[in-house]
Amino acid sequence: MTMQTHTADKDWWRGAVIYQIYPRSFQDSNGDGIGDLPGITSRLDYVASLGVDAIWISPFFTSPMKDFGYDVSDYCDVDPMFGTLADFKTLVARAHDLGLKVMIDQVLSHSSDQHPWFKESRQSRDNPKADWYVWSDPQPDGTPPNNWLSIFGGSAWQWDGRREQYYLHNFLTSQPDLNFHCPAVQETLLQTVKFWLDLGVDGFRLDTINFYVHDQLLRSNPPLPPEERDDSIAPRVNPYNHQMHLYSKNRPENLAFLEKFRALLDKYPAAAAVGEVGDAQRGLEIMGDYTAGENRVHMCYSFEFLSGTLPSAARISEVLGALDRVAPDGWACWAYSNHDVVRHATRWGQGLAAQKLMTTLMMCLRGSACLYQGEELGLSEAEVSFEDLQDPYGIEFWPEFKGRDGCRTPMVWQRDNGNGGFSDAKPWLPVSADHMAKAVSEAEVDPDAMIHHYRAAIALRRTLPALAKGGHDAVRHQGTIVYFTREYAGQSVFCAFNLSGESAQMDSPTGAWSQAGASVQGVEPGAHLSLGPWQAAIWVQE
């Protein structure tokens, strides 16, 4: 077994800043218009220059690409469009040389319908893999076994004539759900995890972690009252929002598998995992369950700040207060943008000053942080015409929901290149003309560009250990100001943020303080705290 030797810090993930790379859209190295692993390797110096601790690479496994890699047909190989296993090993080695950890996406809840496991499973009801997926007889009238819905629209059940049964798919019909009630499935999936650990990866982002286990009795989900519906998991036009998903996901049996998963990771010096909890009603509660103690996942990816409305001071206080109640020992991984949601520069509709302040806030919150490629440039959501759409989700719900292509357009590296320096060929998605002025080449020489603020905010987090690893007192708000104190190893840091375009005031904390936030445009200590529009105060106790 190849063990990780570049670090022995088992706690590196706590407070880490993780940079998400969507491989199709980061850098094309071979001129086919699609990003690839050698392209990522060629840009790792840039990523390291941001000061982040790790990269998370979205799926690059062998796949028919019906959902762009989240439909895996071989868990232990690289899809040829992205390169080879040798290319991946080169990427890992270069990342480690630069001090970057490497996390990869593990899509364990479902596979592609082109995976050999499913091809065998669907042949009959008595073959060796007959129970590797979730199969059920129809109801007497031929309809699906229950009311479960797919996130991509319609029933979560698809009829298969060979077995004369329905199979479960929480996503596309081409993404059948694996049956975690089958011990062989769990063991085989853990072996695929071990495969990548032995290649030197430092951790995993676990896709749809709360979807692994379904209710064995196949009970129907109850309805969700309209006033409780939330669009952070699925768009409002999707009937998926009309159910409380008690039985199709979020099952307590999932904890036993997570403990097996963690036991495997603990055999390696410093492997860690962040689980994506996709649930609008019980997300924080599930996070508490999944990160409790030392034998489940290390942290969970939170959806609370991926909603369509800019979080207010009151909302941030509410979320962090709820997290303290339901997961006092848990660890969140915060994000504002990712490959599935409208970029926050557009979603929140705020200017540069607000975006900068929200970046500083993320770097001060208790938890880890995940940045999505291009947000450090202040990229907005790209407009993609229907004719150029690739995302099946957007094609299904157009025009009320335009899908995820607008946040997946290629990274812009150079303004003087028609494709933004991403590729010499026509990219798989068009490069946004609006993004060109914010290309890396332009941002690096513009002192007011967003990228410099990201570097400063990340550096501040590194400089003050309390911001990365510390606890906090109660997160409170006063009007438009949210404030708290972080503490770690004798260091106390007071943080206050005015989430408003108007000035705001509050009393300063008692004691002697010195300014730590000059690099992120914070204010100096005083007897009375007066914050200008979108301004922060970050003070260290003397």
Distance CA 129, CA 228 (A): 40
**Residue from 310, 459, 321, 302 nearest 369 by CA:** 302
Nearest Cα to 485, choosing from 349, 320, 311, 339?
A: 320
Residues in contact with 189: Cβ distance below 8 Å, sequence separation at least 6, in sequence order: 75, 108, 178
Catalytic one among 53, 276, 391, 405? 276
DSSP, collapsed to helix, strand or coil, labels residue 178 as strand
490, 532, 526, 531: which is closest to 510 by C-alpha?
A: 526
Q: For this structure, is 207 an active site residue?
A: yes
Contact 194, 264 (CB under 8 A): yes
Burial 329-357, CB ≥16 within 10 A → b, else e: ebbbbbbbbbbbbbbbbbbbebeeebbbb
Return the percent helix, strand and coil in the chain, to nearest 5: 30, 20, 50
- Paired tokens of 116: 């050999």
For the chain, first and last CA: distance in Å? Answer: 48
Instruction: Count Cβ atoms below 10 Å from residue 11 Cβ, excluding itself.
Output: 11
Per-position DSSP letters for 91-154, written without gaps between them = HHHHHHHTT-EEEEEE--SB--TTSHHHHHHTT-SSSTTTTSB-EEPPPTTS--SS--B-TTSS
In this structure, the number of other CB atoms found within 10 A of the CB of residue 50 comes to: 15
The answer to whether the CB of 208 falls within 8 A of the CB of 250 is: no
Rounded to 5 degrees, what are φ and ψ at 388? -95, 0
* Of 113, 207, 304, 376, catalytic: 207
- Residue identified by tokens 């942290």 is 299
**Which residues carry out catalysis?**
207, 276
